[in-house]
Amino acid sequence: MEKYTLKEHFLELKKRFFIIIAFFICAFIFCYYFSNYIYNFILSPLAEVTSNHKRKVIYTGMTEAFFTYLKLSLWAAFLIIIPVISYQLYRFISPGLLKNEKTIILPTLVISPLLFYLGGVFVFYLVMPNAWQFFLSFENLDSSMPIILEARISEYLTVVMQLITAFGLAFELPVIMLILSVLELVSAQGLRNKRRLAIVIIFIIAAILTPPDVLSQISLAIPLILLYEISIVICNLIENRSKKNAGY
């Protein structure tokens, strides 16, 4: 374990921060250049659900489309550099870690971005099509004044960003439990004892994060329950390893 002065810590942190900013700027420029293609990809779940009807996405302000593409580029750039952030974080804290601590922290920082992306893929391909179908069910073309969805470009992007971010963070549950287990704030047995309460909380969280239809809520709740069970297994492995290292 290396020792640094406060000034050396600050300079190292500054170096890592500038590397992250440099990658973010490059990713932003790339994403803004291809922002139209990215937005078309983001629109694909809605386009597939409404493929039998001619649809259009509108904007109602002079600058709305510009700022929406800008917001999309910033968000997409952040998603791209998540692995860079994890790696730079590890490079910053690794000199102060013991060998056994590195064997836990490094896999955690590798798995964390993967779980976030997995949550995003899950909501994009499985939850969104069903959610958009639910919202479109309120259309009424047979009334004297037809009710038709014409989504605003900014509102649609906001909903997509919120869903992908929420599901991505929700899929970080095993990583959170791993950290809490290492800090000895939770135990495998404690998680088992609180399984019923956890399931109730998971369904409440799913109801908050997803659109107001049962299918979307269940689509998030079931993976979270599975991730909770995986967290129990991970905590159990950590505890057994700690006991073995302690000579029990």
Residue 34 lies in a domain: yes
206-224 residue pLDDT tens: 888 777 777 778 888 888 8
Residue 64 lies in a domain: yes
Pairwise CA distance, residues 82 & 68, whole Å:
21
* Residues 181 and 133 placed together within one structural domain of the fold: no
Q: How much is the pTM?
A: 0.84
Residue 165 lies in a domain: no
Residues of the domain holding 30: 1-153
**Confidence bin at 246 (pLDDT 50/70/90):** low
Q: Tabulate helix, strand, coil % of the chain (nearest 5).
A: 80, 0, 20
H or E element that contains 80: helix 64-80
Residues contacting residue 191 through CB under 8 Å, at least 6 positions apart: 177, 198, 228, 231, 232, 235
Please check whether residue 71 is in contact with residue 31, taking contact to mean a CB–CB distance below 8 angstroms.
no
| Average pLDDT over every residue of 44-58 | 77
Overall domain count for the chain: 2
pLDDT surpasses 80 at 26: yes
* Residues 50 and 114 placed together within one structural domain of the fold: yes
**Confidence bin at 52 (pLDDT 50/70/90):** low
